Amino acid sequence: MLYRAVIVKILVTGSNGQVGHDFKCLAENSRHDWICFDRKGLDISDEQQVADVIARERPHVVINCAAYTAVDKAESEPDRAFAINAYGAANLAKACQAHGAALIHISTDYVFAGDTLAPYEESDPTGPTGIYGESKLAGEQAIAEYLERHIILRTAWVFGAHGNNFVKTMLRLGAERDELGVVADQWGAPTSAAGIAACCLAIAEIIDAKDCAEIPWGIYHFTGLPSTSWHGFAEKIFKDAVAIGLLDKAPKVNAISSDQFPTPAKRPSNSQLDCSKIFNCFQITPDNWEDRLLDVLKLSL
């Protein structure tokens, strides 16, 4: 990734989430001017509060990590999901437009139907199959409508040392059970929260260092590599957890189908995202999630 020795005033929303938490870690060792807000400090669904905070702080770049991410719960709470993921994104875009700030917004693979075989490119047709994906797509569309200076970063299968995620769930189940079933017919690429934070910081520095006209604004994909299934991800988690002494032994992981594990919201069969555009435009390469996973597991010791 490309980093420049410039001082940027960066405002981060959702600082208590997985990715937002990693920005707080970056801020401790960065020369940049950081303002990190959790939901209590800045509720992005409150249009007036967003306008007031952006006007007061005058950041160069806003990084939006605030999101409603309860995929299944969104099916019964559509108003709440849209309030944060769609209208909250619109509020930030309007405030950034009013005060000359750029916006980096984190989105998701759920904007796609997930029914293809090849990795999705940024220009591929969207088609969310649930409320969460619909609300995130509406947020993308609102940002594009209200603000030219934006980067939308779609990612997938996020894990980190902070918050709830698949890695934490597997470690808990692995300590409790000798055997479990994990879906093997959904494919994607695990992506570390730390990698997403580093990617956003690199883009923020490029934005501040270049003329606005030189920045290729728009949508980008960023995930880890290599691709795997949830079953493959689980097996790697257990293998590494045993190797470093986090678990005494690995449970047997049985491969099951999506039909055997029904959920209120349909999961994409294919969550793979093509990340060539972000390399071509920003020279940012995907992380090796296996290396990042080991870092996360060591923090759990």
Q: What local confidence, expressed as pLDDT, does residue 153 receive?
A: 98
Mean pLDDT, to the nearest integer, of 18-34? Answer: 86
At 78, the amino acid letter reads P
Domain of residue 84, residue span: 9-165+190-225+272-288
Q: What are phi and psi of 62, to 5 degrees?
A: -105, 130
Residue 211 DSSP one-character state: -
Active-site positions? Answer: 132
Asked whether the predicted pLDDT for residue 1 surpasses 70, the reply is no
Query: Pairing relation of β-strands 33-37 and 9-13?
Result: parallel
279 close to 285: Cβ distance less than 8 angstroms? yes
Give percent of the chain with pLDDT exceeding 70: 98
Determine, yes or no, domain membership for 215.
yes
Rounded (10°) angle between helices 289-299 and 230-243: 50
Quote the percentage of the chain above a pLDDT of 90: 89
Cβ pair 114, 268 in contact under 8 A: yes
Report the pLDDT averaged over residues 162-171: 94
Cβ-contact 225, 288 below 8 angstroms = yes
DSSP H or E segment with residue 202: helix 193-209
Average pLDDT over residues 228-243: 98
Q: Largest Cα–Cα distance in the chain?
A: 57
The pLDDT, as a whole number, for residue 208 is: 83
Q: Provide the number of structural domains found in the chain.
A: 1
Mean pLDDT across 203-212: 85
The mean pLDDT of 209-221, rounded to a whole number, is 88
At 278, which CATH number? Answer: 3.40.50.720
Whether 94 is covered by a domain: the verdict is: yes
Q: Please count the residues of the chain.
A: 301
189 within 8 A of 157, measured Cβ to Cβ:
yes
How far is it, in rounded angstroms, from Cα 76 to Cα 159?
A: 25
Range 250-269 average pLDDT:
96
Tell me the average pLDDT across 49-62: 97
Give the model's pLDDT for residue 12: 97
> 3-state DSSP call for residue 179?
strand
Q: What is the mean pLDDT of residues 124-128?
A: 97
* 237 within a domain of the structure (yes/no): no
SS3 for 61? strand
| CB-CB contact of 50 with 91 (8 Å) | yes
pLDDT of residue 6: 57
The reply to whether 116 falls in a domain is yes
How far is it, in rounded angstroms, from Cα 124 to Cα 2?
Answer: 27
163: left (phi over 0), alpha (psi -120 to 50) or beta: left
Q: What's residue 215's pLDDT?
A: 92
Answer whether 39's CB lies under 8 Å from 16's CB: yes
Indicate the range of 10-14, 65-69, 271-275, 296-300 predicted with least confidence: 296-300
pLDDT tens figures, 152-162: 999 999 999 99
Distance CA 212, CA 293 (A): 36
Question: At 28, is the pLDDT very low, low, confident or very high (cuts 50, 70, 90)?
Answer: confident
Question: What is the average per-residue pLDDT within 11-37?
Answer: 90
Q: Where are the beta strands (DSSP E) in the chain?
A: 9-13, 33-37, 61-64, 102-108, 150-155, 158-159, 179-183, 187-188, 191-192, 218-221, 228-229, 252-256
For the chain, how far is it from start to end, CA to CA, in angstroms?
29
- Tell me, yes or no, whether 221 lies in a domain: yes
In a domain, 126, yes or no: yes
